Amino acid sequence: MIKKLRMGMIGGGEGSLIGPVHRMAARLDGMTVLVCGAFSSDPAISAATGAAEGLDSSRTYDTWQDMVVHEASLPEDIRPHFMSIVTPNHLHYAPAKMALEAGFHVVCDKPLCMSVAEALDLQETVERTGRLFCLTHNYTGYPMVKRAREMVMGGEIGAVRKIAVEYFQGWLSSLVETTGNRQAEWRSDPRKAGIAGAMADIGTHAFNLAEYISGVEVTELSADLGSVVPGRLLDDDGSVLLHFENGARGTLLASQVAIGEENNLSLRIYGEKGSITWRQMEPNSLTVLWPDRPVQVYRTGTAFAATGVAAHMHTRIPAGHPEGFIEAFANLYRNFSLHIIALSEGNERDPLADYPGIRDGVRGMKFLEAVVASSRDNSSKRAV
């Protein structure tokens, strides 16, 4: 019986935005303990982060390669159960592949990697090694996102006709990558971010959320990307027309130059019988519109019979107490941990304890390559 899962971390050193979020989320349910880390390409930063996390210096490493090799050589009751990769995009593929082949399960930040070719190779590696893989599209972890998916998949709003997803931020409205902003620097650098900027950073979240809640996949798209801020090397704004496999149409808008916007991710799905709206900045509410009755609002933590089993399972505290970003991340870590434990005990995975996996990563990379190609070719349709 596993008492606590042991986690190693690659990236996420001092000054990181997402590393501390992952560590807080992994610990929230008391199921995981951090036992080792290669937190930065700068050994001094890695050492300082390890010390701050209370790690023994012998298990804080200068490179992720050294960590994977050494930790894999340790006895089964000491080595990590999984590695969490929280690096910039260009350092997802190689650490993930090496960790999988060394026998570790993997949690990886999004987007999965730098190309579809890398994504497909990682998918093959996951299948060949039999290791589990979680991609942290954290917005799928919100209770009302679970309720929205349950409603759509259960046919409560009828067949999906229209999907509109938007993700607006304003923090890149000027050329902040030249002012020492580390988060902006790597996200604006094609060598580290990949082929896309805003579309890779936030557009992939919007794409994943649309497919997750609706249960239907995009089959083709037409895109228009742009770099609004002079001197920026990658897109900071984009619009995409979407066609879904069931015949539904949709739009995806993503911008990081929308001045005044904080983290405005929203999704609307229009069906034959009704419509739903969810907004990340008011995540505890799901609004449902009907043609013949008043507007209905579901709230996190309210009556189990109303909000459903999936939302209830992903709710931690009573109604009226906000649950947000960290808790949604934590839901992914908990569900992933439950899957590892079930696998170790020879049990089946609980279908309600879901999390985005390697296939979602491949879908995201296919979306990015199609978007970039479509925009480059003057918005010609591209298959996804």
Tokens (6 digits) for 277: 């709206």
Residue 1: pLDDT over 70? no
Strands 285-289 and 105-108: unpaired
- Residue 3, pLDDT > 90, answer no
**Dihedrals phi, psi of 165, to nearest 5 degrees:** -125, 135
| Residue 68 · residue 82 · CB < 8 Å | no
CATH tag for 142-317+363-383 (out of 3.40.50.300, 3.40.30.10, 3.30.70.980, 3.30.360.10): 3.30.360.10
Q: Provide the edge-to-edge strand list for the sheet that holds 160-168.
A: 296-299, 285-289, 275-279, 264-271, 160-168, 249-255, 237-244, 218-226, 382-383
3-state SS, residue 265: strand
pLDDT of residue 57: 96
User: Taking Cα atoms as reference points, which of 248, 288, 139 lies closest to residue 203?
Assistant: 139
Question: Alpha helix (H) ranges present in 30-181?
Answer: 43-52, 64-72, 93-101, 116-129, 143-153
How far is 282 from 209, CA to CA, in rounded Å?
Answer: 16
In order, the DSSP letters of 13-46 are: -TT-SHHHHHHHHHHTTS-EEEEEEE--SSHHHH
3-state secondary structure of 260: coil
Which residue intervals of the chain bear CATH 3.30.360.10?
A: 142-317+363-383
Residue 230 has a CB neighbour count (10 Å cut-off) of: 6
Determine what percent of the chain is predicted with pLDDT higher than 70: 100
**Could you tell me where in the chain the CATH 3.40.50.720 domains are found?**
5-131
Would you state the structure tokens that stand for residue 168, as one six-digit string? 């607006």
**Sorting pLDDT into bands at 50, 70 and 90, what band is 288?**
very high
Assigned token pair, 226:
């742009």
CA distance 99 to 131: 10
How is domain 5-131 classified at the CATH fold level?
Rossmann fold (3.40.50)
Condensed to tens digits (0 to 9), the pLDDT of residues 214-229 reads 999 999 999 999 999 9
State how far the alpha carbon of 153 is from the alpha carbons of 121, 157, 163, 248, 291, in Å: 31, 9, 14, 15, 20
Work out the pLDDT band at 304, boundaries 50, 70, 90.
confident
How large a percentage of the chain has pLDDT more than 90? 96
Averaged confidence pLDDT in the chain: 96
Alpha carbon separation from 33 to 9, 27, 60 (Å, rounded)? 11, 7, 14
Residue 100 has pLDDT above 90, yes or no: yes
> pTM of the prediction?
0.96
pLDDT digits (tens, 9 = 90+) for 61-86: 999 999 999 999 999 999 999 999 99
Residues present in the chain in total? 384
- Angle value at C-alpha 206, between 204 and 212, nearest 5 degrees: 100
- Angle, helices 64-72 vs 93-101, to 10°: value is 10
Asked whether residue 263 carries a pLDDT value surpassing 80, the answer given is yes
Nearest C-alpha neighbor of 372 from the set 185, 91, 116, 88: 116
Work out whether the CA dihedral 11, 13, 19, 23 comes out positive or negative.
Answer: positive
pLDDT at 378: 86
Q: Hey, what amino acid is at 196? A: A
**Per-residue confidence at 303, pLDDT binned at 50, 70, 90?**
confident
Give the Cβ contact number of residue 364 at 10 Å: 26
Mean pLDDT of 267-295: 97
Q: What is the pLDDT of residues 183-208, one digit of tens each?
A: 999 999 999 999 999 999 999 999 99
According to DSSP, the residues that pair with 105 across neighbouring strands are 82
Confidence of residue 380 (pLDDT cuts 50, 70, 90): confident
Burial class (CB in 10 A: 0-12, 13-18, 19+), 352: middle
pLDDT for 307 equals 87
